[in-house]
Structure 1
Amino acid sequence: MRSLAYGSETLTPPTSQRILDEVLARVEPPVSAFAESLEGSNGNAVAAASLNMIEALNQLQSLYIEEATTAFPSLPAARVDAASRQILLAQKGARESIQFVYGITGSNAAVFDTMGQWQALQDNLKNGGNGLPAISPQRPDLSQQWQEVQVYWDRLKAQFRLGGPGRLLLGCLVVSKSTLRAFMLIGSRDWEALCRPSSGDGLQSSQHACPKPRRPRSLISQL
């Protein structure tokens, strides 16, 4: 929390007073409550506290996306936001499935609701909708990565129904890695455009300050 609020060697501090206020007022309390719940033995309390913490972090992320979009209108902030939320939903679905299998919750309705939210984001990322543009025909790399994410997600959905903890965790890892790869592809060209100096402005090139993102290796080779 200290790094999130004030920055550290690996994490930049909040970009505005508005974000700092959000961290201190809305994020710190649920994070502290979650930490306290872990000291007890009530699984339902831990689950409830974790959901509250995730919701607070989602609100903080939305604020970052809003400010980034204002500062850099050409960046695909909404697509990046949607892809990052998919990772959280995959992890959330795995946790809900395990809780149902082990009798911590009495219904698997939450699992299917999470699955529906994930797929809705996935469909919007491809076809457009809810503020997201469709994948451009000029970006076949994104279309290919979208298909890869979908394949791994379909496999993970089957594990949601079976509820094997080990396979669920592995499935979440694979989906998260594939989504992160899409995450990097989404903004790669826009990042390069920001780092490209404007012609005739008399400013020194900033290309050396903005390294080009490296393309991740094949997921199969990393597993």
Structure 2
Amino acid sequence: MTELAPGDPTGGRPIRVVVADDQEIVRTGLAMILDAQPGIEVVAQAADGQRAVEVARRLRPDVCLFDIRMPGIDGIEATRRLAGPAVADPLAVVVITTFDLDEYVYAALRAGARGFLLKDAGSVLLSQAVHAAASGDALIAPSVTTRLLRAFADTGPTAPPRQPVEPLTDREEQVLAAVARGRTNSEIAGELHISLSTVKTHVASLMTKLAARNRVEVAIWAYETHRVRRGG
């Protein structure tokens, strides 16, 4: 699920990133990869979750890139403190890990993460995830996208799914289903034979009606309310 928003979300300046990983060689490598990408600047690094939260709150970066397994406060708890449902002004967090485990992905996105990648994703996907997060969008490693979102339906929400503030139109229902299946805006436009700008308008309307902060939350809601079912 990846769709880079049009325009420049940072007003012409580089996307500022904080990287947190307890392994120095991995942390340094991620920072070097990101710094080499056009339009991205690593402004700080942290070796544990507590430090990552402190630095992120102080610097207010555009994107935080957090490993899951860190001493003390892990990446999931750090994400919850910076981007969780209770945070009034959440930061964009992308979680990156060596382990392709559903429970990690589930917990990270529940905590407010705007993306989930494996450490072998490569520089292109890493850069795309940072740009997507900075644009208010989401990117999840392709290997886990559909499996992950369906897991939300299997486990069920902890509370009854919220109802939209206004009923969804038939076209919004179609766009919702496509988003839940991991389609990009361009793919949705092609499938539904509508313009890209119209797709973006419908996605924005869905986010407003569902009080969702990104496409991941829109997709989760679709599965939780059984608008999209396993194999559907």
Normalising by structure 1, what TM-score?
0.29
| More helix by percentage | 1
Structure whose alpha-carbon radius of gyration is higher? 1
| More strand by percentage | 2
Larger relative contact order (CA 8 Å, sep ≥ 6): 2
